[in-house]
Structure 1
Amino acid sequence: MVTWGGIADDFTGATDLAGNWVARGLRTVVTLGVPDAADLAGITDADAVVIALKSRTAPVREAVRESLDALAALRALGCTRYYQKYCSTFDSTPAGNIGPVTDALLAALDTDRAVVVPAFPDAGRTVYQGHLFVGDRLLSDSSMRHHPLTPMTRSDLPGLLGPQTSHGVAVVPLPVVRAGAAALGAELDRIAAETDTPVLLVVDAVENADLAVIARATAHHPLVTGGSGLALGLPATGEPAHAAMPVEDGHRVILAGSASTATRAQIAHARAAGVPARKLDLAALRADPDAEVDAIVAEVTAAWAAAPRTPFLVYAVGSQDDIQRETAPDQTPAGELVEAALADCARRLADAGARQFIVAGGETSGSVVRALDVRRLEIGPALAPGVSWARATTADGLPFNLALKSGNFGATDIFTDGWQALD
């Protein structure tokens, strides 16, 4: 019976949450987009279902509508608990979309509270005194300050969330969490009882043990919100429940649309290690996108002919200078050009025999899996905190192995060593 339903605001976040549920022993299915009746009928023997949306930077009304559609689908599956998954770096703008979606879910579920827990210590995300840290830096001092779509220039979560929500925001400090689940639960009850409208409760967490306390204290809450870390706080129900993932025979490709510091380091490492690579030429994409993709596909297929098992890296951003240049105002936003080009590359390279993909970046991952016409993922072995291999099958039955990676996640060598699980 499906108990947990996840609503993720991008595709990498969905696999991130699913991977952590799998690690706790929950049989988990990921659907890419809101499932229709036929998709719902095909979901059996699952403890949890995550619906992956592409709503993080969508217009607010669209993000709310898609999230409520996802909630309705999860209710139809019989879910009794719901997890609103957003990025552990709280990627959003003053307009949303985290707050508006939370408000809509609270109203639809008729509940008076939701915890806000972006902390994911295994990935270096912690919350102390209501402030979000990335490693040992405040979020506002991290590379996320320069994110081209959602620049994070503040670190205090109430200050970030307040303009996005119509409800109150309260902070529950670490000493209350460290007092145990009963004390934390009592404090959450007290705050909710003293508030006339639903309240969003930012809860400090700096270690996995803190997440376990929060999970116990919220075991009766119909809705929780956060990064995927809170899923690791659930009690383990057995061994990791990832599928015995078949390895698909075919060529390997890395498609990196992310501009994050972590992805740029991964690109640099792969190139230094001799991975054949091509950087997207933004000027060429503006002039003639089809010709640029034609040239990329020709170069990749030639490299595969010479070395069939060698992955090929296609990437968008290699330096901070690239970020500043490629996010400047122009006819079409650079991000849209990059997403469209990488999606087209994915489709064309799949036709040329690519069956194993590592994709870096939430927006890029969404565009790529839609281009491949993938609707469902079976989660396989973990590559890194928040990153897992998965098996995907298209509507026409074409199978792939996919690793969808948030731009900020993964070790520096993930593009070179991430294939070992498939060997």
Structure 2
Amino acid sequence: MDHTSSYEPQTKFGKWWDDRLPVARLAHGQFVAFPTPRNLNYWWTFGGILTFFLASQIVTGIVLAMHYQPSGAEAFNSVEAIRRDVNFGWLIRNLHAVGASMFFIAVYIHIFRGLYYGSYKAPREVLWILGVLIFLAMMATAFMGYALPWGQMSFWGVTVITNLFSSVNEIIPGLGTAIVEWLWGGFAVSGTTLNRFFALHYLLPFVIAGLVILHIWALHVAGQNNPTGLDIKTREDAVPMYPYAVAKDAVGLFAFLILFAWFVFFLPDYLGHADNYIEADPLVTPPHIVPEWYFLPFYAILRAIPSKLGGVIAMFAAIAILVVVPWLDTSRVRSAKYRPVYKWFFWLLVISCLALGYLGAMPAEGAYVTWSRIFTFYYFAHFLLVMPIVGLIERPRPLPRSISESVLKSGAGAPEGAAAAPETR
């Protein structure tokens, strides 16, 4: 499909400006007239939802940074002062804290949608990899942000997680210790560590914003995937992004904002840990140290491996493996909607990730560790065994001839008895 903008300035000033800096033409071509598959469902609204929450987190974060004191002596009290003494500080703090959780809920749904519908397949490999990099940057930003309230769980969470890097000593003696001391800014977690984390927490959202721009650029070069996995072939297969896709995104965002507002106004502290409302004390260790809920699946993987170094490698590998998913999946069909065997394995992956999230919050003992190892095994087996093998032996269901055919239901697929004609371009 031709993505050339049909924008025509209507005023003399508009024409003068368009000849010199065609921003309006670019915006019209990429966000108004851009051809969007006509069969997109509401799972595709989470890209817009994530963009909204990124902007929200940056704006509320900048306001909070104006009142926050990044020092070991003042951090905890400054957070309480924001909630009690700053005009609407309670609201801004709640928007930012709850917004982080909503951001991760949306990104996990976005990732699983991509895995289900094969949005990582050619020609969208770079688009997918940029998405994984955004996810990594989000996790780094959230981890550093978790330290800022300087409560008990913040302090000890930072202590435990940063200490994991000392396992590098098993590979290169002394390197792990050097990394840990660099992160700490000394020989123990202190106000210096907090100040470093605050600086990086402030910087990384702008890095994420840059990656998001590249992500959107890559999306508009390759075009959007859709539930059938077919490419846009004719004008009947697509509709302009505005008003059709924009209106659907607005409805999805509004529905998600209802959930967001419910937590902000009624349960702002529900997704946090009670111990984090106790000021950090290096002399008192909490009985059970856990990270924020969105880190729990990876925390369970970390603890499932008996070796400290092995656990660290497995934890990072759980994210890194997503980068090579486009080359691990051997199926010629994108969408799991037409893959009757793989679909069951996909839902098993979803169950495994939810189970790991639960197990990450439990003590590292007994049956919890056993089940963590079972679900960790399946997590990696899904990508390293299921995707390559099922893609080779599975017989997909017949695909529709076009996107418009799937929408109009004028023959759900190929003629009876005909083999599927998978399309991957």
Q: Name the TM-score, length of structure 2 as normaliser.
A: 0.23
Pick the structure with more helix per residue: 2
Pick the structure with more strand per residue: 1
Structure exhibiting the larger radius of gyration computed from Cα positions: 2
Higher RCO, 1 or 2 (CA under 8 Å, sep at least 6)?
A: 2
